[in-house]
Structure 1
């Protein structure tokens, strides 16, 4: 939302009227509805504060169980075949073939893809493309198939745009997801998120349309904030239905009405073909829960604040300060016998996860004089609502009155949710650390702009380790990682794949983390993936170049020289993926896995 043109455009917004806004076709589709709850509906599921006793929902359990039975055995075998074909001169240990071939317990793999605006969405897409067994180049590189073998896929902020659109688009291939095809309209990156034409007058009408699209939500009595404007802008790009040709067509809903919970009805979800998708958000709490707030490595949200997840079945937090969930389908319900539907719009969930506007509202700063001041002013004039915080996403609190001794928002009727990386954890490890999910291997995609030139430097790993060590060690386990950025840089841990947690104590349930960072250009290429998070428009050829370079990041391993990928990388990656299953079998590492783990593992 940092487009210069947009600041001029918003000067037109104040003349906008609610009466006109209610006519937009998308407005009714975006507005939630209130009705009687179906018989037997429960709006609160307590999972408790004891991590070892927490359970996933019955719906999630059913999905994962069916996926492990019906999909993953063949997916792991296909991945193993790709590794073997790409490594004809590498003898794989017998245990690797057993674990990945279906003769022993297969790994539970989770993929985490970071925030960072368009850069993160595109880099994440490029790396997922390298893991996609439908891509023959990926299969030939020996990495294709891991996406199909993953149990979970988590994203936040820019990563939520990727995860959300991939799930809502019915799990298309990455080229179709990004550029369109096979029933998917694509991301429309060539159009600026908020100023799609560059013509001030035309784009002013477009922005008025965004206000129009949230008007009926307001008229029906639900709070609207900057996150709703942001959601509708994102919907024109990251929810299936909009093309460059129809972006101004007011007869279309442009993704309004597509809900996160309705992903469960899609064919690819019904057949358990998708990794289970999860999107994260942070919160601005209003009450100190009794412990000292610790400043995060980066961002403005304290590390101890609850982290909320949105999966297609539930929204809530595993953190012991809450330990409760509500059905995603009924998000926004007043927590009694009346149920709200339609609050969980895909675009709104993506907008929540990418709502970083509290950065503009720091102590001593007049927010009306900042880059988002015109938006805030427009909201105040068009949709007045006293005492509503407009720089966050407003969600009626389904956990009102829960855990009054420890839950910081127990007395608040509205949750103020913000960008999932605002506590410094810009890569979404947390939902994959939940003990009830049993994830033993995490493939982490870090496309965060930690450095001044927009490269990742490991800050999200550090923040997650700090959060676990300082606050939630009884709830989550995480391997040791370097405690400072200088170590990541000095040891080149972000310019090559790195494995963390290779030799943790046998009693530990900390996952092994396969870390692939956007830390530098691969194989001596000129860098193209270190774009600014603030960039909101990408030419299609720039996107393709970024996808190609991200593919190389995921398939090169540790290059043997400036132009040669590691020929053993497919085997080394497989060794890491299967290592926790190997340990469970009580088998020692052997063969190529021994040398691979020595080269790729980091130890303190």
Structure 2
């Protein structure tokens, strides 16, 4: 991998250009203003998971979506399943999904898309496309419509790129999201532009140096306005060219454009599909680095960096904060970065910065001064130090003025920290963002967990993320509930649980409070195909043909179920659409006091782990 070492050559040129302040630099800089009357910069959700509440705006969105959108969405999905599976569904499945029992009887579905770089973003996109009712191939496969019926969609790291870009681009189809459309304009979404490398754009080291210089220039205004700047800001400006409106392949290198600067996470609330409640509620998460007193006992997963007991922060269009019991507090996302209760910041919640925070793995390179200097981010940090001097900050993390300073002093480890230092949401070993979907106040029945990290030597999943989540849930009892899962990677691999869809929580007691988890992992190539989905995380560019080939193979992964032996090889399970429908309605079925019946019984015998 080439490095950014040549970037220091451009320093003098950079210093001469800062005064020009390109459009992106102006739009990226937050501004300060008196807080509007009646503004509360902290909402305490509480530490008791059974009495925690959602923010009013999120609760309003979910209620409106359930009332105005989900009845038709579930009915459409039900028709797709019944028309494209050879087996009859039990009567209760159609009764629930068709809305005959009212909207309150409908299932509560969430989807979590994992981290793992561009590989995970593409894998997650392929699964979502297989669940998309606008995709005729998905409709014919009997899965189309589940995406439209989901209440929540969470992402971290590469999954955060997928979730946030999909939401802010006004919820296009997944092919249009990835490859763009001919109609994209300067303010529209031009696709992921995967042929350009995310970390090292340009055809050679000189072009890469020029891009880096430009990215650093674009964040200078934020520093000049008095806000902390770190490598996450610079990384985010690169990500913006791929995952935020305002860039096309033709103008990728145009330094006069904003390239998504000024577009914020809170601004997602203004896109048309969000206003119409026509997309699942998007959530992005990040892990936190904290300074702990000597002697504090923490639990760290093997080979991971962040302890499992560190607070996990979630970001949505309305609020940012944590439901973890050690904090249980939120701040309005549009006022993120505010210095005090009377002066509010606007524009700190840049989409590219949130994406950079959720995927910031660069602290893992900071094992020593020498290692940092020779790493890919060494020159970036050098440029930041030379052009934007700051003290008391972690330049290898995403730095956010702490809105929760002084809060929960007996339990919140960062209560006395002026800055929150955030990193990749999977650094605690939980590469699939399940935590926000386990919040009791959200009341989810079923979670589709899309898992595409590089756990094994050949870059497939081995169940480590679910193991880490199970461990964290046990540590934080009774805050969260999670169904029993295998406790070792060996079990996942020996039972092929990563190579086929697996249901967890099929036999949980009603008072357990856990959701049923449908686990769809990137565990191996489907149906005897050569593997295309296990590229290393460090592969940060894909040709259009490579990206399409990955999407095609992921479609087979998502629609195969447990493959059935047939003449000439394996074929897709024709009952898989019915089995997935059985899983989606199972908690709703249980609330009605109805017994599993028909094909759902045999489906659970085959797909459930116990």
2:316 to 311, 315, 328: 311
2:591 aligned partner: 584
Change (3 A) 1:132 1:9: farther
1:160 aligned partner: 160
**Displacement of 1:103:** 1.9
Cα distance in 2 for residues equivalent to 1:369 and 1:415: 26
| 1:568 partnered with 2:575 | yes
Q: Is 1:315–1:325's contact at 8 Å kept on the other side of the alignment?
A: yes
Q: Is 1:289–1:408's contact at 8 Å kept on the other side of the alignment?
A: no
Cα distance in 2 for residues equivalent to 1:109 and 1:335: 37
| 1:91 partnered with 2:79 | no
**Displacement of 1:537:** 1.0
Q: Secondary structure at the match of 2:315?
A: strand
1:33 aligned partner: 31
Change (3 A) 1:459 1:365: farther
**Displacement of 1:247:** 1.1
Cα distance in 1 for residues equivalent to 2:178 and 2:555: 14
**Displacement of 1:298:** 4.1
TM-score normalised over the length of structure 1:
0.97
**Displacement of 1:13:** 4.3
Change (3 A) 1:13 1:321: farther
| 1:512 partnered with 2:512 | no
| 1:443 partnered with 2:448 | yes
Q: Is 1:115–1:155's contact at 8 Å kept on the other side of the alignment?
A: yes
Cα distance in 2 for residues equivalent to 1:134 and 1:314: 30
1:528 aligned partner: 532
Deviation string, structure 1 residues 372-407 (Cα, Å, up to 9, x no partner): 222221211121112211000010000000011110
Within 5 Å, which residues of 2 pair with 1:414-453? 414-453=419-458
1:333 aligned partner: 338
Cα distance in 1 for residues equivalent to 2:405 and 2:523: 42
1:210 aligned partner: 215
**Displacement of 1:288:** 4.4
2:281 aligned partner: 276
Q: Is 1:297–1:459's contact at 8 Å kept on the other side of the alignment?
A: no
Cα distance in 2 for residues equivalent to 1:525 and 1:203: 36
Unaligned runs of at least 5 residues, structure 2? none
Cα distance in 2 for residues equivalent to 1:288 and 1:585: 50
Deviation string, structure 1 residues 221-273 (Cα, Å, up to 9, x no partner): 11100000100000011112111210121221001001000000110000000
Within 5 Å, which residues of 2 pair with 1:468-487? 468-470=473-475, 472-487=476-491
1:237 aligned partner: 242
Deviation string, structure 1 residues 114-154 (Cα, Å, up to 9, x no partner): 00000000000000000000001100000000000000000
Unaligned runs of at least 5 residues, structure 1? none
1:103 aligned partner: 100
Q: Is 2:156–2:424's contact at 8 Å kept on the other side of the alignment?
A: yes
Within 5 Å, which residues of 2 pair with 1:101-140? 101-104=98-101, 105-140=105-140
Range with bigger deviation, 510-519 or 200-209? 200-209
Cα distance in 2 for residues equivalent to 1:262 and 1:481: 38
Deviation string, structure 1 residues 78-115 (Cα, Å, up to 9, x no partner): 0000100111x311101101111112301100000000
| 1:20 partnered with 2:13 | no
**Displacement of 1:426:** 0.5
2:58 aligned partner: 60
Within 5 Å, which residues of 2 pair with 1:343-422? 343-362=348-367, 366-422=371-427
Cα distance in 1 for residues equivalent to 2:124 and 2:35: 39
1:261 aligned partner: 266
2:545 aligned partner: 541
**Displacement of 1:21:** 2.4
Change (3 A) 1:288 1:551: farther
Cα distance in 1 for residues equivalent to 2:97 and 2:6: 55
Cα distance in 2 for residues equivalent to 1:204 and 1:226: 15
Cα distance in 2 for residues equivalent to 1:354 and 1:113: 13
1:299 aligned partner: 304
Cα distance in 1 for residues equivalent to 2:6 and 2:146: 44
| 1:559 partnered with 2:563 | yes
**Displacement of 1:201:** 2.3
Q: Is 1:288–1:408's contact at 8 Å kept on the other side of the alignment?
A: no
Q: Is 2:11–2:213's contact at 8 Å kept on the other side of the alignment?
A: no
1:43 to 29, 41, 47: 41
How many aligned residue pairs are there?
Answer: 598
Q: Is 1:150–1:275's contact at 8 Å kept on the other side of the alignment?
A: yes
